[in-house]
Amino acid sequence: MSKQVPEKPTLDGLEEKWGALWEAEGTFRFDRSKTRDEIYSVDTPPPTVSGSLHGGHVFSYTQTDLIVRFQRMRGKEAFYPMGWDDNGLPTERRVQNFYGVRCDPSLPYDSGFVPPEKPGKQTVSISRANFVELCHLRTIEDEKAYEKLWRWLGLSVDWSLTYETIGAKARRASQRSFIRLLDKGLAYQAEAPTLWDIDFQTAVAQAELEDREVAGAFHRVRFHAAEGDVVIETTRPELIPACVALVAHPEDARFAELFGKTVVTPLFRSRVPVLAHDLADPEKGSGIAMICTFGDINDVTWWRELQLPVRGILEPNGRLKPIQWGGDGWDSEDPSTAQVNYDKLAGLTVKKAQAAIQDLLSESGDLIDEPRPITHSVKFFEKGERPLEILTSRQWFIKTLDFKDALLERGRQIDWHPQYMRVRYEDWINGLNGDWCISRQRFFGVPLPVWYPLDEAGIPIYTLPIVPDEDSLPVDPATDTPPGYDESARGQSRGFIGDPDVMDTWATSAMTPQIAGGWEEDPDLFERVFPMDLRPQAHDIIRTWLFVTVFRAHLEHDSLPFKNAAIAGWVLDPDRKKLSKSKGNAETPIGLLEEFGSDAVRYWAASGRPGTDTAFDTGQMRVGRRLSIKVLNASRFVLSHATQEGAVTNLVDQSMLAKLRGVVEDATSAFEEYDYTKALERIETFFWTFCDDYLELTKSRAYGSAGDEGAASAAKALETALSALMRLLAPFLPYVTEEVWSWWQEGSVHKSSWPAPNECGEGGDAQVFDLAAEVLGQIRKTKSAAKVSLKEECKQVSIKAPAAALEALKVAEPDLKEAGKVAAFDYQEEPNFSVEVTL
């Protein structure tokens, strides 16, 4: 061998050494001259840039990298970009905390603003433009740190292909798509009940809900009627002033005579109808419920289907708003009493109002018994801190319900890995109960690209939105002037105003294949990579990211956005809880990479099968490290004997290669099915047998104990096996395999071709090697049991076996004799295989 094999190979420094070389050589650079069928394109999940990556990220991104590296070695040109999800609430929150600022959209832009080094005692209010600037500033820093970690981990991403979800490309793509939906009548605005977070003060979508168990209480409350009192049970007595009707099941005899009549609410003395609707459950509460605008999603349904008026009492900040009882829409049998009672609630938060109204109800005698404490689950915005409310507001929607069937069909066209994950997608679609609300009353996001004309009185005419030309995208209606207007007309009578809202961050993430693929901006590229081959992602965002991506591609391109969906599991604490940031092991993956080495951490990640949650396990990383060290040492030994020339004439050598051939076949088909774990298992098992048994068996022969021909055969077999093994292991252990590859090969192992079965020769009988390994094992066992050194001689090895096995073993006898220090062999033909070793 002409190249140099180090005397003492080490794992230290491999990440820096090869990371720098790959970058310099452009090893993972995408070659866009390749055609669609030669390309494997990946819709990489853009990680949320809001702090730091943790073990879970390392886990799932490694898994994607395994697949990409396999595809690349199989001859595909990998289109493997990286995005940064910097748009949205997490960044806003991070910037607020990092600098101690808050966004006040009413403030003017301050071009001389310098952010504080550290958060001050007092929060600094800044304009929306200044705030967005800070968001950009912060995310650039975070993205650098992320990229450094990803490179260290060895992701074979083309780092010239990056995008940010707040970047110009992303803004253009999502605004362009929005305008087209508007044009097709698929985007619309409506003044409607909307899920509302009172802390962030924004609308949110069904996909962003989560249930949380919280303490509450059933209040039994008396409503008054001529026929006698009606008792309802409610967990939200503070909404009694918002009550517009009572409702019971049409077949519930207890309330039959009340249907069509009216009752009077306690405290506020409003007359409301008693109605029938089959959504009312006789089993729940007292069997009759109050309908408030709005307490929950059921209220919205009733309100809509029973055509009830709106009586909203909540401000966007979650406090009860001032109301003039007896005024329009707030009729009362006794307005002055209603006013006295309500004034004690106005201005309070929901929680405080609940306590206050409880006292009022007690005083008036309308509360029956003490409230009964319960624990019940309540809807929250997933990033929120207080329960969601439902408020009426003007929002933009995308028609979704009309496409349920089409989207279910799209789901069936995707290859899911694992397959059962499709069910989650279907569950979600089947449970959709409204169109997708995409407007958010936030700041750091993609602006909704519309303005509204103002009438003479300066009131926006929402029905006539002004839309930008596609050529002018991206636009920010807050600062850009709409076509046909002069900026001086902003906010003026007969002028215009910009829509103040931004889009749901998922409305932008929905476009990642288009953003990365250069949709409408680089048609040549787009044609080569879209639809993508692979969407890798975790199972918790099937209902969000996966769903919206499929949805938008369906509307925009009438196609799938990707062919395969590889769904990763979560990383769990050893105690089976989802890995949380509060636990130490969720932090600083860079520390893990330094302690165990990137290859070792990747080895652990590879042990997590697609879709399967996996325990965080440093033990696995230690095993990975040991494997890496073994790769170095075994390769050093192999290369001290190996040659690329010559022929494998020895039957033991042929047998080992026959076995390897099977491993290549298994690993290849496992990878084709996205089961990298199975592939690794097969490869690793063979590698250890290769080291423990084959190298031991042939060591002496390789040194020349059986003459030149035997040595030459071993030398060629060793080289053949090592070459295949390094390539098989390359996706998992990119650093150590590249290091070893460089000892005797040209170019990068990662650009070499995935082993083909026929590299291992045509014939060979795997049984020879297996039996020889078995006998060698017996010899070791006997010596171990006798507590003697493995170098100790054996007087005799007696083998009983069927004829064919004996035949095979005789072939291996010379190697066994040397490896086991055996003086003599004895063979007897018998149906059962057994070995007896005499020391």
Partner RNA sequence: GGGCGCUUAGCUCAGCUGGUUAGAGCACUGCCCUUACAAGGCAGGGGUCGGCGGUUCGAAUCCGUCAGCGCCCACCA
Binding to RNA, residues 364-383 (CB under 7 A): 376-379
State the Cα–Cα distance between residues 316 and 197, nearest whole angstrom.
8
The minimum distance between CB 284 and RNA, in angstroms, equals 4
Question: Of these, 109, 159, 218, 259, which contacts RNA (CB under 7 A)?
Answer: 218
Task: Pick the closer one to RNA by CB: 496 or 686.
Answer: 686
Coil, helix or strand for 122?
A: coil
User: Of 54-62, 331-339, 520-528, 678-686, which segment contacts RNA by CB under 7 A?
Assistant: 678-686
Is 285 a binder of RNA (CB under 7 A)? yes
User: Of 183-191, 257-265, 695-703, 754-762, which segment contacts RNA by CB under 7 A?
Assistant: 695-703
- Going by their DSSP bridges, the two strands 271-276 and 243-248 should be labelled as parallel
DSSP state letter for 490: B
Binding characters for RNA, 128-147, by CB under 7 A (x = yes): --------------------
State the Cα–Cα distance between residues 419 and 609, nearest whole angstrom.
13
Contact between 225 and 258 under an 8 Å Cβ cutoff? The reply is: yes
Contact between 517 and 530 under an 8 Å Cβ cutoff? The reply is: yes
List own/partner pairs for 428-435 with CB under 8 A and 24 or more apart: 428/207, 428/542, 428/543, 428/547, 429/404, 429/547, 430/404, 432/206, 432/400, 432/401, 432/404, 433/206, 433/297, 434/206, 434/400, 434/401, 435/397, 435/398, 435/399, 435/400, 435/401
Size of the site for RNA (CB under 7 A): 81
Task: Pick the closer one to RNA by CB: 141 or 281.
Answer: 281
Is 666 a binder of RNA (CB under 7 A)? no
Task: Pick the closer one to RNA by CB: 137 or 839.
Answer: 839
CA distances from 329 to 23, 232, 241, 272, 298 (A): 69, 23, 11, 12, 22
Residue 15's contacts (CB-CB under 8 Å, 6 or more residues apart) are 152, 154, 593, 597, 598, 735
The minimum distance between CB 766 and RNA, in angstroms, equals 16
The minimum distance between CB 571 and RNA, in angstroms, equals 10
Task: Pick the closer one to RNA by CB: 39 or 605.
Answer: 605
Is 576 a binder of RNA (CB under 7 A)? yes
Is 609 a binder of RNA (CB under 7 A)? yes
Interactions with RNA, residue window 421-440 (CB under 7 A): 423-424, 427-428, 430-433
Task: Pick the closer one to RNA by CB: 79 or 596.
Answer: 596
Is 401 a binder of RNA (CB under 7 A)? no
Is 695 a binder of RNA (CB under 7 A)? yes
List own/partner pairs for 664-668 with CB under 8 A and 24 or more apart: 664/724, 664/728, 664/755, 664/756, 664/757, 664/759, 664/760, 665/757, 667/728, 668/754, 668/757
Task: Pick the closer one to RNA by CB: 450 or 711.
Answer: 711
Task: Pick the closer one to RNA by CB: 370 or 527.
Answer: 370
Interactions with RNA, residue window 622-661 (CB under 7 A): 622-623, 625-626, 629-630, 633-634, 636-637, 640
User: Of 111-119, 267-275, 617-625, 714-722, which segment contacts RNA by CB under 7 A?
Assistant: 617-625
Interactions with RNA, residue window 336-365 (CB under 7 A): none
Closest CA relative to residue 641, chosen from 687, 692, 698, 702: 702
Is 118 a binder of RNA (CB under 7 A)? no
Task: Pick the closer one to RNA by CB: 173 or 243.
Answer: 243
User: Of 15-23, 231-239, 652-660, 738-746, which segment contacts RNA by CB under 7 A?
Assistant: 231-239
User: Of 81-89, 98-106, 253-261, 570-578, which segment contacts RNA by CB under 7 A?
Assistant: 570-578
Is 704 a binder of RNA (CB under 7 A)? no
The minimum distance between CB 560 and RNA, in angstroms, equals 21
Binding characters for RNA, 241-270, by CB under 7 A (x = yes): ------xx----------------------
Task: Pick the closer one to RNA by CB: 778 or 798.
Answer: 778
Residue 187's contacts (CB-CB under 8 Å, 6 or more residues apart) are 178, 181, 396, 397, 398, 399, 438
Is 13 a binder of RNA (CB under 7 A)? no
Interactions with RNA, residue window 727-786 (CB under 7 A): 777, 780-781, 784-785
What's the N-to-C CA distance of the chain in angstroms? 40
Interactions with RNA, residue window 188-207 (CB under 7 A): 206
Interactions with RNA, residue window 790-829 (CB under 7 A): 790-791
CA distances from 431 to 203, 278, 406, 777 (A): 20, 19, 15, 59
Task: Pick the closer one to RNA by CB: 285 or 316.
Answer: 285
State the Cα–Cα distance between residues 757 and 40, nearest whole angstrom.
23
Contact between 674 and 67 under an 8 Å Cβ cutoff? The reply is: yes
Question: Of these, 587, 613, 770, 813, which contacts RNA (CB under 7 A)?
Answer: 613
Closest CA relative to residue 55, chosen from 676, 591, 730, 619: 591
Question: Of these, 78, 198, 275, 289, which contacts RNA (CB under 7 A)?
Answer: 289
The minimum distance between CB 131 and RNA, in angstroms, equals 31
State the Cα–Cα distance between residues 526 and 50, nearest whole angstrom.
29
- Token pair of 716 as six digits: 């060629």
- Token pair of 540 as six digits: 């918790």
- Token pair of 300 as six digits: 């919205």
Is 232 a binder of RNA (CB under 7 A)? yes
Is 614 a binder of RNA (CB under 7 A)? yes
Is 787 a binder of RNA (CB under 7 A)? yes
Is 305 a binder of RNA (CB under 7 A)? no
Residue 183's contacts (CB-CB under 8 Å, 6 or more residues apart) are 467
Residue 370's contacts (CB-CB under 8 Å, 6 or more residues apart) are none
State the Cα–Cα distance between residues 420 and 610, nearest whole angstrom.
11
Is 222 a binder of RNA (CB under 7 A)? no
Is 543 a binder of RNA (CB under 7 A)? yes
Task: Pick the closer one to RNA by CB: 189 or 698.
Answer: 698
Is 668 a binder of RNA (CB under 7 A)? no
State the Cα–Cα distance between residues 783 and 240, nearest whole angstrom.
86
Question: Of these, 60, 175, 235, 509, which contacts RNA (CB under 7 A)?
Answer: 235
The minimum distance between CB 127 and RNA, in angstroms, equals 37
Question: Of these, 191, 211, 487, 709, which contacts RNA (CB under 7 A)?
Answer: 211
Contact between 229 and 222 under an 8 Å Cβ cutoff? The reply is: yes
Closest CA relative to residue 722, chosen from 665, 812, 622, 653: 653
Q: Is the peptide bond before 294 cis (omega within 30 degrees of 0)?
A: yes
User: Of 273-281, 340-348, 450-458, 726-734, which segment contacts RNA by CB under 7 A?
Assistant: 273-281
Task: Pick the closer one to RNA by CB: 119 or 285.
Answer: 285
Phi, psi of 777 (to 5 degrees): -60, -40
Task: Pick the closer one to RNA by CB: 21 or 401.
Answer: 401
Closest CA relative to residue 233, chosen from 338, 369, 357: 369
- Cα dihedral across residues 441, 445, 448, 453: positive or negative: positive
The minimum distance between CB 425 and RNA, in angstroms, equals 8
User: Of 76-84, 536-544, 722-730, 736-744, which segment contacts RNA by CB under 7 A?
Assistant: 536-544
The minimum distance between CB 98 and RNA, in angstroms, equals 29
Query: Vertex 442, ends 191 and 208: CA angle to 5°?
Result: 75
State the Cα–Cα distance between residues 728 and 186, nearest whole angstrom.
49
- Token pair of 216 as six digits: 């509450």
Is 615 a binder of RNA (CB under 7 A)? yes
Rg of the chain (C-alpha set)? 35
The minimum distance between CB 735 and RNA, in angstroms, equals 16
Is 600 a binder of RNA (CB under 7 A)? no
Is 236 a binder of RNA (CB under 7 A)? yes
Question: Of these, 1, 310, 464, 788, which contacts RNA (CB under 7 A)?
Answer: 788
